[in-house]
Amino acid sequence: MRWFEIALVVLTLFTGLVWLLDKLVLAKRREARQGLLDDGKEPIVVDYSKAFFPVLAVVLILRSFVAEPFRIPSNSMMPTLLTGDFILVNKFTYGLRLPINNHKVIGIGEPQRGDVVVFRPPHHPDQDWIKRVVGLPGDRVGYHDNQVSVNGKALAYAPIGVYQGKGNGTEMTGAEELQEDLLGRRHHVLERTNLPFIDQGEGDWIVPPGHYFVMGDNRDNSEDSRYWGFLPEENLRGKAFLIWMNFDGGVDTSRIGNRIQ
């Protein structure tokens, strides 16, 4: 979606400059020539710029500093988020950032354990990914035998049952659904206990300053910090907070309006 962001900024600046130039210079020239060699009509570029600039400016401000829509492209956050979910992301929870370069201009807050965040991964800076924050700066995070630990404390798990997938998520049918207690923040995760052992990214990590350790809720089907490392703070885009539509071969109205925990 970065191309859309760039196009939106360019169009907003262009139409705004045309509108300003017309207001300060061109309109006065047309008025002076009216009745001589000019009929006084606005050029089509000016006409369209004046019509579209307010709309583009409002959309740019809302997307950059208030809330931005994203579509979930994969199953890595199942069962919390499904492929086809359209979510809203709060853009000011972690500070106001400029569009395109994502530079923070005003600091407001920092991610907490359990937050579901949208970010640009270091190895794919042109893409937007979504994961859950598991480790904060300075935390010791471990992952062994499907068990997460933070600062030496193993997280508690409560069984929910066998997961029944829908749509593109049917591949996870038969996985075990669990409630994970991330030091006071509870959410559901999936584990595949019915398959032979595969590399699950086991290890121990110490989160450096200015970075976060993120994981997908679909633990056996998520490319996350276990494989590519820590998430830099400057790559954060915002905090996911609401599912506003689901479309996975058909609209699933049961998920609309769900808060993201």
- Of 78, 170, 179, the residue nearest 130 (C-alpha): 78
> What are 72's two structure tokens?
């979930």
Q: Where are the beta strands (DSSP E) in the chain?
A: 67-71, 85-90, 96-97, 104-106, 116-119, 129-135, 140-144, 147-150, 153-154, 156-162, 176-182, 185-191, 203-206, 211-215, 231-232, 236-246
- CA 200 to mean position of chain CA atoms: 24
Q: Which of 49, 76, 222, 225 is catalytic?
A: 76
pLDDT tens track for 194-233: 665 556 789 999 999 999 999 999 999 999 999 999 999 9
Q: Model confidence at 254, in pLDDT bands (50, 70, 90)?
A: confident
pLDDT at 11: 94
pLDDT tens track for 145-167: 889 999 999 999 999 999 998 87
* Interval 54-60 mean pLDDT: 94
Percent of the chain with pLDDT over 90: 65
Whether 76 is a known active-site residue: answer yes
Whether 131 is a known active-site residue: answer yes
DSSP code of residue 24: I
Q: What is the pTM of this model?
A: 0.88
Q: Which of 49, 64, 91, 131 is catalytic?
A: 131
